[in-house]
Amino acid sequence: MECNKMKQRQEIAQSVVHSTFFEGGRGSLVWGKVKGSPWWPGFIVDGSDCGLNELPEKFAWVYWIQDNRVSKVPRNYIKGFVSDMLYCSGGKISENCKSAIVEALKICAKHQGIDLISWSNKKIFSWGRDGGLHNSMKKDEPYLLPDNIVDGLTRIKRFHMHQKSEI
């Protein structure tokens, strides 16, 4: 059984390595990567959501789950959260990253009408990595941004607007 999971992860990893730009728009739940950091879950947002300029097509603003910051990320360093779960959550990851992944998995489950309230974080994480997420969701699709994400974006937008008003 464990050998099959390893083989499945390797096959997915090969497909991710050769993928092109992520084309999803606002509300897409994604994996993003910036230099020196692991793959991390986040949402693609518009510049207007956070008080920043719109970007050229090759980039996207990513709001990082639990980190509550926004970064400009090249689209070839963005992957679909559901479709690339095994690849991006593989390897050694920090407890902070695991916590962010669990939050993203809860968002996915809620979006699909799956009740995970009685599940432990460990069980949720295993469900996501061991194929439960992939089997219950067929594709990556945009979400309405959760209230806590909208609140975080509002704080960032106020900060940027305050910065601009001081110039």
pLDDT (tens digit, 9 = 90+) per residue, 8-29? 555 555 455 545 788 889 999 9
User: CA-CA distance, 99 to 44, in Å (whole number)?
Assistant: 19
Domain residue limits, the chain: 2-153
Over residues 64-83, mean pLDDT: 93
Ordered alpha helix ranges (H), 18-146: 47-50, 85-88, 95-111, 121-129, 132-136
Tens of pLDDT along 125-145?
988 888 777 666 656 678 889
Which of these, 146, 77, 13, 157, lies nearest to 62 by C-alpha position?
77
CATH 2.30.30.140 fits 2-153, yes or no: yes
Question: What pLDDT score does 6 carry?
Answer: 54
* Cβ atoms 79, 86 nearer than 8 A: no
What local confidence, expressed as pLDDT, does residue 7 receive?
Answer: 56
Helices (H) and strands (E) in the chain, counts: 7, 5
pTM of the model: 0.83
* Chain segment 41-72, per-residue pLDDT in tens: 999 999 999 999 999 999 999 999 999 999 99
157: Cα within 13 Å, side-chain hemisphere: 13
